[in-house]
Structure 1
Amino acid sequence: MEQLILDFINYLKQFSYFGVVLALTFEFVPAEVVLPLVGYWVYEGDMNFWIAVLAGTIGGTTGPLTLYALGYYGGRPLLIKYGKYFFIKEEQIQKADHFFAKYGPVVAFTGRFVPGVRTLISIPCGMAKMNIWQFIIYTFVAMFPLTALYIYVGMKLGPHWHKAGAMVEQYMLPVLGMIAVFLIGVVMYKLIKKKNRREYR
């Protein structure tokens, strides 16, 4: 299966940066494989790093939109019935659903940094009828640094790009921790600002 995916990605390389977008639009193709390989293409001089990052970020946004649409228009019954054709298991849907219920719409951003959740978190966002523009912005902003990191590591590893996925995963929890602290700080700032406004009235 992995070889078929690699063959598919390499086939799309002929379409250059659009091929990167296209590869990531198919959610069954793991970004953890696509992006480090793109990094290797940058290493070989076939692509520009920043244009590749932009293409990867766009693809990393259009891909989740397909799952968002499945959640929005199909709901849980359709996903449970036909999810297997998209390599989606019921327990994965439940895990993503629980994560959304616990953290709310902001998971469209933070969920991208959590292994085992990042792909399917788009489904409960769709089922909850989250504003589509809010979803797109959160997803794009989260995918940009993540895409850059995967491509950069793949580029630095060169011929050993396939090791990039495991290396990046090691840094996900610390990164998520920093993001959580930042978000908590933003929320606290807004609450304090709102409280001060009330006191001045």
Structure 2
Amino acid sequence: MTQWITEFILFFKDLSYAGVVIALSFEFVPAELVLPLAGYWVYLGDMNLILTIIAGTVGGTFGPLTLYALGRFGGRPLVEKYGKYFFIRTHHLEASDRFFEKYGSGVAFYGRFVPGVRTLISIPCGVTKMNVFKFSLYTFLAMLPITSLYVYLGFKLGAQWEHVDEIIKPYILPAAAIFIIGFGLYVLIKRFRKGRVSQ
């Protein structure tokens, strides 16, 4: 599966930065493969590091918009019916729904850092008709550090770019915990201030 996806990504290499954007616009193509490979292309001198990060971030914003649109214009029934073609299962939807209900629209940002939630969180954002510009901005801001990390590590590892996931994996859950705690504090402070204003 990984080899097939890698070959699929290589198909876009001749399109340079536009190819990175297009490849990441397909939600079934893991960014964890595209971005380190793009970093390797930077290592080879075929692309510029900063422009690659920008292209990756833009593509990483376009991709979630497809699932957002599916949720917004098709609703939950359509997602349940055709989600299997995007490798979406019912338990995935239920997990993203619970996460959205708990944290609200901010998950368009914080949800990107949580494994198992980051891709599908776009669906409840669409179903609840979250403002598309707000959704896109939150997604872009979240994808920027993620993209930068994966592309940079792919660049530093060079021909060993496929091992990026092994390096990042131990840090994913702690980083996700930090972001969730930070967002939780943000929600508490916001509610506290709102309660003081209403008194």
Q: Do Structure 1 and Structure 2 share a fold, with TM-score over 0.5?
A: yes
Residue 158 of structure 1: aligned partner: 158
Question: What is the CA RMSD across the aligned residues, in angstroms?
Answer: 1.9
Residues 164/47 of structure 1: CA separation in 2 closer, same or farther (3 Å cut): same
For the residues of structure 1 that align with 2:196 and 2:118, how far apart are their CA atoms?
Answer: 37
Q: Residue 106 of structure 1 aligns to which amino acid in structure 2? A: G
Q: Residue 58 of structure 1 aligns to which amino acid in structure 2? A: V
Residue 118 of structure 2: aligned partner: 118
Q: Residue 19 of structure 2 aligns to which amino acid in structure 1? A: G
Q: Residue 107 of structure 2 aligns to which amino acid in structure 1? A: V
For the residues of structure 1 that align with 2:170 and 2:9, how far apart are their CA atoms?
Answer: 25
Residue 95 of structure 1: aligned partner: 95
Q: Superposed, which structure 2 residues align to 1:10-29 within 5 Å?
A: 10-29=10-29
Residues 17/147 of structure 1: CA separation in 2 closer, same or farther (3 Å cut): same
Q: Residue 166 of structure 2 aligns to which amino acid in structure 1? A: A
How many Å apart are 1:56 and its aligned residue? 0.3
Residues 80/190 of structure 1: CA separation in 2 closer, same or farther (3 Å cut): closer
How many Å apart are 1:81 and its aligned residue? 1.1
Does the 8 Å CA contact 1:149/1:168 hold for their aligned counterparts? no
Q: Residue 141 of structure 2 aligns to which amino acid in structure 1? A: V
Count, aligned residues: 199
After superposition, give the CA deviation of every residue in 1:147-170 in whole Å (9 maximum; x if it has no partner): 001111111111111111232232
Does the 8 Å CA contact 1:115/1:169 hold for their aligned counterparts? no
Residues 51/188 of structure 1: CA separation in 2 closer, same or farther (3 Å cut): same
Does the 8 Å CA contact 2:83/2:89 hold for their aligned counterparts? yes
How many Å apart are 1:45 and its aligned residue? 1.1
Residue 169 of structure 1: aligned partner: 169
Unaligned runs of 5+ in 1: none
Residue 128 of structure 2: aligned partner: 128
Residue 31 of structure 2: aligned partner: 31
Residue 51 of structure 1: aligned partner: 51
Q: Matched residue of 1:171: which SS? A: helix
Residue 7 of structure 2: aligned partner: 7
After superposition, give the CA deviation of every residue in 1:63-111 in whole Å (9 maximum; x if it has no partner): 0000000000111111111111122112111111111111111111111
Matched-pair identity in %: 56
Does the 8 Å CA contact 2:93/2:120 hold for their aligned counterparts? yes
How many Å apart are 1:194 and its aligned residue? 6.2
For the residues of structure 2 that align with 1:191 and 1:21, how far apart are their CA atoms?
Answer: 38
Residues 198/80 of structure 1: CA separation in 2 closer, same or farther (3 Å cut): closer
How many Å apart are 1:122 and its aligned residue? 0.3
Residue 67 of structure 1: aligned partner: 67
Residues 126/195 of structure 1: CA separation in 2 closer, same or farther (3 Å cut): closer
For the residues of structure 1 that align with 2:77 and 2:191, how far apart are their CA atoms?
Answer: 39
For the residues of structure 1 that align with 2:128 and 2:175, how far apart are their CA atoms?
Answer: 27
Q: Matched residue of 1:163: which SS? A: helix
Residues 103/147 of structure 1: CA separation in 2 closer, same or farther (3 Å cut): same
How many Å apart are 1:177 and its aligned residue? 3.1
